[in-house]
Structure 1
């Protein structure tokens, strides 16, 4: 019995080490003057990394799996999904292909990063596998995947693998240092937009909003500031208006309203139910595209 268990553990250990070694051929270290993180080859000449770990206006160097270094330029970044895309000048590693199979809670999971070209790994389980969700910054994430493992900060932006060594997404830190996975489907969708346009469009109303209580127990979003050239001004909204419903659905919070301004919202027409000086008013607004910061 003991020999059988020992053999099983040895096989599992070897399989996990092989999975890390296989993924490491696509994983790179991402260095700037102030940060160290990881990334991976997404397409020929293009590397995906974690947006939050990449400082603004930083010179970036990528350390390749063979130990060589290459300069990199930022192609685009999307804070909503925590994805940044880099173009490296030479020595592209083997691009990764994501596995589309569903991820199950309780399955073994691996996180693989790079320290100056040397792989670094962490092992644990998928602690949560849920449906699509929208981040606080408005990013549409195709699945909610959390990993129960301890990951080093330098490995953020590297690959998350399943028990068979297949890439399922990018490992990043969420609130309270929980390890989240940005799924492969999200990366492929967003990175393609970044490669083509350098950005991901977000919806824009052109207003500054503040939550207010409505009698008896409702919530509204008061217009505190308005861009005179923005969509809201063109639709006739005024400072002091209170948005109480969006296409007939009551406003639950200002954050929920802003999260509705995803990429798919640009160009759509919505009906806003307002209170203006205590009187009900409706306005139709064509959602614009948020200007570049």
Structure 2
């Protein structure tokens, strides 16, 4: 049964792509000193870099079958490919945050810390919907770690620092500002990216985006680029979205999300003349079907909180624990009513 989702999102634009895994990152926590004029990032960089790591990945990639009869008989086969990305230590015991697309298909993962020490790593869990993953190493001692800050407190125009290993050149930091918040780039139902002009390139995948206090407020994930290099438009998963995912992966290696079993669209786009989420379809035997939701219902509130868009409904339901009963306020045939729905578990979660 397909999960609750807004209408089909367009594919990522050709020049908008996940950061290709390439190389490393280094990071930790500490305030940056603001000088007159532009800030000095030296103290901040020195304090955060020890917690940022490089992640080398070996994965198996399927070959495309050749057109000759001989190659077809052999089949497509597969071969090993090498890649790399970045990550940061979230717990001193050796738990590291990175992108799901960096390690999701890995057969071997090696983490290199800022001092050059290499550790074999295992993937603890991957959440495809937010492109986040955790890997675990067994360090020889206590690692430097960084903490997550509140991305909701970031304002457009505030300074940020990105750390990573762009193009395999080695540990690097770049500075910029928050260019925008809440960006939807068509990657999935939980798009809520921070956009930054801090130069981010292939190899920064999974690396941290810091505020001036040395807190991670984003995980660098995608760039918009005509050339494959930084064009001054990078996207990071906000820490407020990442935090519950990371906590869930630490607890059990998977994320459980609430699910209704409907497809939805924005009411304004459907010409309803008001805001809300229009039910476009209801899955058989889903929580929504059992509660009596119908195609054409206009959902305007979830547990009394206004629902302005289909994406707001998807996110509002997703954060609820499966089994919880919620109250949906909706319009049906021009009349308002409330329906109680017991939230289900979103299918195909890891």
Same fold (TM over 0.5): yes
Q: Are 1:125 and 2:177 counterparts?
A: yes
- Asked if 2 retains the 8 angstrom alpha-carbon contact of 1:28 and 1:114, the reply is no
What is residue 327 of structure 2 aligned with on the other side? 270
Partners of 2:196 and 2:117 in 1: CA distance? 31
Match of 1:112 in 2: 163
Q: Would the alpha carbon gap of residues 284 and 59 (structure 1) be closer, same or farther in structure 2, given more than 3 Å must change? A: same
Shift of 1:270: 2.6
Aligned pair in 2 of structure 1 residues 127, 226: CA closer, same or farther (>3 Å)? closer
Gaps of 5+ in 2: 1-33, 59-80, 226-232
Q: TM-score, normalised by structure 1?
A: 0.72
| C-alpha distance 222-65 of structure 1, shift in aligned 2 (>3 A) | same
Match of 1:198 in 2: 253
| Distance in 2 separating the partners of 1:18 and 1:57 | 35
Q: Is the 8 A contact 1:112 1:120 kept in 2?
A: yes
* 1:27-176 equivalent positions in 2, closer than 5 A: 27-33=52-58, 34=81, 35-43=83-91, 44-56=93-105, 58-91=107-140, 93-98=143-148, 102-114=153-165, 118-128=170-180, 137-139=188-190, 145-163=194-212, 166-174=214-222, 176=224
RMSD of Structure 2 on Structure 1 (CA) = 4.2
How far apart, CA to CA, are the structure 2 residues paired with 1:279 and 1:126? 43
SS of the residue corresponding to residue 153 of structure 1 reads coil
1:260 aligned to 2:285? no
Q: Contact conserved, 1:200 with 1:263, CA < 8 A, in 2? A: no
Which residue does 1:234 correspond to in 2? 290
Cα drift, residue 256 of structure 1:
4.3
Aligned length: 274
Q: Sort the Cα spacing of 1:68 and 1:175 in 2 relative to 1 into closer, same or farther, 3 A.
A: closer
Relative CO higher for 1 or 2, CA cutoff 8 Å, sep ≥ 6?
2
Give the TM-score taking structure 2 as reference length.
Answer: 0.62
Cα 1:244–1:45 shift into 2, 3 Å = same
Larger % of strand: which? 1
- Cα distance between partner residues in 2 of 1:263 and 1:36: 31
Gaps of 5+ in 1: 1-7
